[in-house]
Structure 1
Amino acid sequence: MTVALMWEARAAEGRGAELLAWVGEQTVAGSPLRREVLRAPGDRVLVITWWDAPYDAELPELPEPGGDLVARPVHRWRFESVG
């Protein structure tokens, strides 16, 4: 089964580039099948990692950014492939 973990954060005002750089410096333990980083207006950053694992497996996730880098807590979702 393939499980996708989604991590989305909104940077504090004017700090989108810093958040994007912070995400780029983060490593995830283990070996995801794939990792993709996306950005959107409003200084939002989305990271999706794909894993060969059961839906309820304990998988490593990106942490919360420290300090005042984000405007709100990180949102996280988990999906399973149906294809």
Structure 2
Amino acid sequence: MTVALMWEARAAEGRGAELLEWARAQWLAADPLRRETFKASGDRVLVITWWDADLDAELPELPEPDAELVQRPVHRWRFESLGAAG
């Protein structure tokens, strides 16, 4: 089974580029099948990692950044992949 972990944070005012660089610099204790980083309006940063694991498996996740770097706590979601279309 493939599990996708999503990590999303919103940067503190004027710190979007810093949050993006922080997220890119974070290393995980193991290598995922794939890792992709996104940015969006509102200085939001999203990181998705894909793992060959069960949905409830213990997997390494990105940590919480320093409180001064974000507007709110990080949001995290876990999904089971149902396959790619097309």
Q: Same fold (TM over 0.5)?
A: yes
- If the length of structure 2 is used for normalisation, what is the TM-score? 0.94
The aligned residue for residue 14 of structure 1 is 14
Cα distance in 1 for partners of 2:65, 2:55 equals 25
Superposition TM-score, scaled by structure 1 size = 0.97
Dislocated runs of 4+, deviation >4 Å: none
The residue number in structure 2 matching 1:48 is 48
Q: Distance in 2 between matches of 1:42 and 1:31?
A: 29
Structure 2 residue aligned with 1:24: 24
What CA distance in whole angstroms lies between the structure 1 residues aligned with 2:81 and 2:44?
A: 24
Q: Which runs of 5+ in 2 are unaligned?
A: none
Say how many residue pairs are matched.
83
1:44-78, Cα deviation, whole Å (9 max, x unpaired): 00000000000000000000001400000000000
CA distance in 1, matches of 2:9, 2:21: 13
- Paired-residue identity, %: 77
Q: Which residue of structure 1 aligns with residue 37 of structure 2?
A: 37
C-alpha distance in structure 2 between counterparts of 1:82 and 1:20, whole Å: 29
Rounded to whole Å, the distance in 2 between the matches of 1:5 and 1:29 is 14
In structure 1, the gaps of 5 or more residues are: none
